[in-house]
Structure 1
Amino acid sequence: MAVSFLLAASWLFGWVYFFCWSFSFYPQAILNWRRKSTTGSTIDFPAINVMGFIAYFTSNAAFLFSSQIRREYALRNHGLTPTVQINDLAFAGHAIVLTTITLTQYLFPAQWGFANRGKGEHGARMSSWIKGVIVGSLLGVGVAALIVSSSHNEDPVKGWAWIDVIYAVSYVKVVITLVKYMPQVITNYRNQSTRGWSILQILLDLGGGILSVSQLLIDSYLQGDWSGVTGNPVKLALGNFSTFFDVIFIVQHYFLYRGNRRKPFGDMEDDPLLTDSSREERID
């Protein structure tokens, strides 16, 4: 009975987190479109997000469908199968599409009917250190692939194997999740406002992060081996890191800069789903 309940909970948490995280990509794009502007948010976030989710999709696909990677995983983890679920892959694929669409709003504002942002405005151009993270991530995966291809190791337990390349790809997503929020945190601090940054996407992201980690813990418990957690570090880190930064954004929006939501921009659109009454209260 308990096992059946946990299996059902894992399935439910997996798909609810999928919908929470999937829907979290819409509010910012809708907010930008309604305001006809990307002012107040940074290009760094969608730009590095695209790369992160390509890495996440690639690693999930390998763990789900590559017989070699699944065999090497089993050899390293007591014969178990990866805890990656099909909803993880579906989420990553959907995320690639939505983050790419959002990125085009920053790269091609004229095509969206947006006003061009000044080059000197904070967040209008990609930060040099974010570019460095992108280049460093690509180099890291390349080095891992070079090591594996030249090692000719036949025992994935004792040496480098192709699963390590997939882990390197997944670690790209971990690194990106760790750094991608920082430019927006800094922008909010400099503006002393969360203007132009959708809080709705953060609330959905928080719910998705909690449920994602919960599903991972349940799946590992059902396997009777916590290597299911250590064997899927990207999902664990993705949920925990995003939750940490979501709390920071919530504190900024609802507490630190609560009275500055209309500053420094003149529009009245904080989020695409604000009611008319809440907008009137904000004017007052």
Structure 2
Amino acid sequence: MPSQVEVMVKALSRLLGWIYTFCWSASFYPQPIYNLRRRSTKGLAIDFAAINVLGFICYMLYAASFLYSPLIRKQYAARNPISPDPTVRFNDLAFAVHAVILSIIVYSQFWPQIWGFRVSRYQHVSWPVAGLFWGCLLAILILTVVVVTQSPDGGSDPAYWAWIDVLYGLSYEKVLITIVKYCPQAWVNYKRKSTVGWSISQILLDLAGGVLSLAQLIIDASFQDDWSGVTGNPLKFLLGNVTILFDLVFVVQHYILYKSSGDGEDDNKAPDPRTPLLPEEQALQR
């Protein structure tokens, strides 16, 4: 019979899990709603929206496999005998499925044929991000071929190349995509010296989710008295840290560096007659 402490710790873990799932899931709504209200995607980096879709598909496949694949769970237990149960939770999968759907919606908003939004002629997927997209697909294909050809039993034996390694490949691709996807938006904000068009509400929710996600992972691993729960779930650990780092960058941009550029939540307000003209407007009146 589990002790009272064990029951409380598990309850706390589940609570943190669902709170961070809510925060991360809610963070997907401010940007598409903001775009819908403005009828425009200006100020939002299309590279962020495009590569986000692939990243969360990787996350969804990773979480679903660790939760429901007997083979993957068996391979994980073989490689982590002290803590044989993966620290992936159902809320991780719920978040991933929701994220895939919302990411597709945001990316679709760059297609005027679908939404009729104003899209800048400069908003197109860059070659580096397109290269990352196809490179990730090629890497998983190569890893799959290695597992099938190099493992004596077709990837079932965890002592050799196994299917769990393909999932770890997906997890590292998700982390790489998370690192890369924020860079174009941070650069766009820097070049424009403004965060208008980029919803700060999603960043604050994203930051809260990242902190709570790490808290849940650390609680789960510490309760098992084995930190392989962290190393055995590198996606969740690295994803939380990378998310927190970049969210802090956006918070600094919005509230400190480019604070005078506007509140970042509504660029359709009528201009205040006392507000100085932007440089572009000054040039037009000369």
Indicate the SS of the match to 2:109: helix
Shift of 1:261: 2.2
Equivalent in the alignment of 2:73: 70
Alignment deviations for residues 213-251 of structure 1 (CA, whole Å, 9 cap, x no partner): 110111111222110100000011111101100000000
2:100 is the alignment partner of 1:96: yes
Structure 1 spans left out of the alignment, 5+ residues: 270-278
Distance 1:216 1:190, change over 3 A: same
Indicate the SS of the match to 1:180: helix
CA distance in 2, matches of 1:88, 1:16: 11
Indicate the SS of the match to 2:268: coil
Shift of 1:267: 2.0
Distance 1:116 1:179, change over 3 A: closer
CA distance in 2, matches of 1:174, 1:49: 11
Q: Is the 8 A contact 2:45 2:185 kept in 1?
A: yes
Shift of 1:33: 0.5
Equivalent in the alignment of 1:127: 126
CA distance in 1, matches of 2:81, 2:263: 56
Equivalent in the alignment of 2:137: 138
Equivalent in the alignment of 1:83: 87
CA distance in 2, matches of 1:246, 1:37: 23
Shift of 1:266: 5.3
> Which TM-score applies when normalising by structure 2?
0.89
Distance 1:262 1:81, change over 3 A: closer
Q: Segments of 4+ in structure 1 off by > 6 A? A: none
Give the AA of the match of 1:140. Answer: A
Max radius of gyration: which structure? 2
> Which TM-score applies when normalising by structure 1?
0.89
CA distance in 1, matches of 2:69, 2:102: 26
CA distance in 2, matches of 1:8, 1:191: 46
CA distance in 1, matches of 2:235, 2:267: 40
Alignment deviations for residues 58-112 of structure 1 (CA, whole Å, 9 cap, x no partner): 0111111111111010000015111100000000000011111111101x22432
Give the AA of the match of 2:87. Answer: T
User: Please, which moves more after superposition, 72-81 or 108-117?
Assistant: 108-117
Distance 1:157 1:111, change over 3 A: closer
CA distance in 2, matches of 1:47, 1:35: 20
Q: Is the 8 A contact 2:151 2:160 kept in 1?
A: no
CA distance in 2, matches of 1:139, 1:225: 35
Give the AA of the match of 2:58. Answer: A
2:28 is the alignment partner of 1:29: no
Distance 1:159 1:109, change over 3 A: same
Counterpart mapping for 1:134-173 below 5 A: 134-154=133-153, 156-173=157-174
CA distance in 2, matches of 1:175, 1:197: 22
Equivalent in the alignment of 1:59: 62
Alignment deviations for residues 155-198 of structure 1 (CA, whole Å, 9 cap, x no partner): 74432111101111121111111111000000000000001000
Equivalent in the alignment of 1:7: 10
Alignment deviations for residues 13-54 of structure 1 (CA, whole Å, 9 cap, x no partner): 100000000000000000000011000111111111110010
Q: Is the 8 A contact 1:75 1:156 kept in 2?
A: no
Indicate the SS of the match to 1:48: helix
Q: Is the 8 A contact 1:21 1:205 kept in 2?
A: yes
Distance 1:262 1:7, change over 3 A: closer
Equivalent in the alignment of 1:186: 187
Q: Is the 8 A contact 1:38 1:105 kept in 2?
A: yes
Residues matched between the structures, number: 268
2:208 is the alignment partner of 1:204: no
Give the AA of the match of 1:76. Answer: R
CA distance in 1, matches of 2:8, 2:134: 45
CA distance in 2, matches of 1:169, 1:12: 27
Give the AA of the match of 2:240. Answer: G
Indicate the SS of the match to 2:179: helix
CA distance in 2, matches of 1:236, 1:72: 20
Q: Is the 8 A contact 2:72 2:163 kept in 1?
A: yes
Equivalent in the alignment of 1:222: 223
